[in-house]
Structure 1
């Protein structure tokens, strides 16, 4: 099934080549097989130089990462499964706007502690492949589930966890790195930002001024919606808002990601990868005011 999918994707010559005027949700891989409830794709992310794309795709209980490379003719290569350490799950890919590394979550055992929770890993892309993946230190991966990483240009890391002082299933947290010690300091989002149920699939703009994630909270348009929050001029996060139409629908909209220049929002609609200009995506906020 996986090889059939990849062969189908290879028929797409443009393969979702980026342009700047997607005014409405547009399929990234229009020739791909339609997703099922067991084969949803989500979390498409693009490297800051715009040359690599990575996304997660489910296969029943398994989740894998797939990568694509921009080719000389402007088309994208067929998605290729990435062979990173895992037990059964690789998920939540996100390129850092700070160091260009790919951050993602894996359930591979780390630190010889026999755990089966998810932890955040980091790997640098190379010209024709990938470097050596490594988990972030215990100052991030504390033994609970750490998932959904995203990093802005200033090196601020956002992720979700059911550890620390989370109030729900998985809450959003922000972390900063002490370059001298190599340790991370984790801080909670403002009171009222997180919901009692899980929030997930985090994306952040390059300048760190806006964050996206999916949530089951109300008011909502569908089964699950994409929400967004803006960082105020005082540096504090405002309360999240439902992104609204044209991104959210009565169905399942989730798995946000951003293009390398931050101009395009990627997301998943019922498991199909979609793209829309960030400007058009934010129009739903204006129409709800």
Structure 2
């Protein structure tokens, strides 16, 4: 009898311990997945819920601000998946999961989900099957990770098979131009990648490792000049960048915040960070 009681007590203790806890995740309510908006200094986004121990990257809100997507590893620790949250009646819940086939971005009108050299279009309350952008982009000698689109349907994307460079393609006279390698303003340094073009094309953000940086890949910004050219690359500074890997920036569709990836340690722990997008206007005046 005593042995039975001891076993029962032991099981009760183990089931109540943190290692066996089945606590439900917190309910996320309100704008920005219920998170308190950050200041100009970057901080983790949704710590303990989205940004936690492990590999959480490529956080992005869809236009309308009622959907949030990020990339992580599946339960087996190997499969890479995209998870989508949706807000309904002020509550955020997971509604979608699919294998990643390119880094997710959105057209400014929210009707298209870009995924490298492919895309999905809005279909009612969901998305179409992934389709290709065509032979101009679906090339074996290019390696597109992220493609960003403006309101004018200008595409800016990275190409890791050509030495980590950024390319640009515009619509001219109703036709899409062949993607061209961008200038040395952008294609200087190592690991140049993950561009984000503003919907109005007033600025472009990307990441690169350069000698003047903070130690690893940093976020840079270039502003469109009055003559239509791109200005110099500006390091986004110590409030955004760190001595770790900082990359894959996007600006929320309402223009208020920047989200990006940050490496936390050398064991593969990467989190999503965010900061007030006012830093963009501060850098514009420098």
| TM over 0.5, shorter chain | yes
Report the TM-score when normalising by structure 1: 0.76
Kindly indicate which of the two structures has a greater share of residues assigned to helix: 2
Determine if contact 2:60/2:70 at 8 Å carries over to the other structure: yes
Q: Which residue of the partner structure matches residue 55 of structure 1?
A: 70
> Superposed, which structure 2 residues align to 1:109-258 within 5 Å?
120-143=117-140, 144-162=142-160, 166=162, 168=163, 170-177=164-171, 183-258=176-251
In 2, Cα distance between equivalents of 1:99 and 1:180 = 21
In 1, Cα distance between equivalents of 2:105 and 2:179 = 19
Larger radius of gyration: 2
State the 1:251 CA deviation: 2.2
State the 1:31 CA deviation: 2.8
Change (3 A) 1:148 1:277: same
- Size of the aligned set, in residue pairs, is 255
Superposition RMSD on alpha carbons, in Å?
3.0
> Superposed, which structure 2 residues align to 1:274-289 within 5 Å?
274-280=273-279, 283=282
Q: Does 1:17 align with 2:40?
A: no
Segments of 5+ residues of structure 1 without an aligned counterpart are 1-6, 84-88, 106-119
Give the match's secondary structure for 2:278. Answer: helix
In 1, Cα distance between equivalents of 2:62 and 2:254 = 9
Q: 1:66 aligns with which of 73, 83, 90?
A: 83
Segments of 5+ residues of structure 2 without an aligned counterpart are 1-22, 264-269
Q: 2:56 aligns with which of 24, 34, 41?
A: 41
Give the match's secondary structure for 2:145. Answer: strand
In 2, Cα distance between equivalents of 1:92 and 1:215 = 17
Give the match's secondary structure for 2:136. Answer: coil
State the 1:33 CA deviation: 6.8
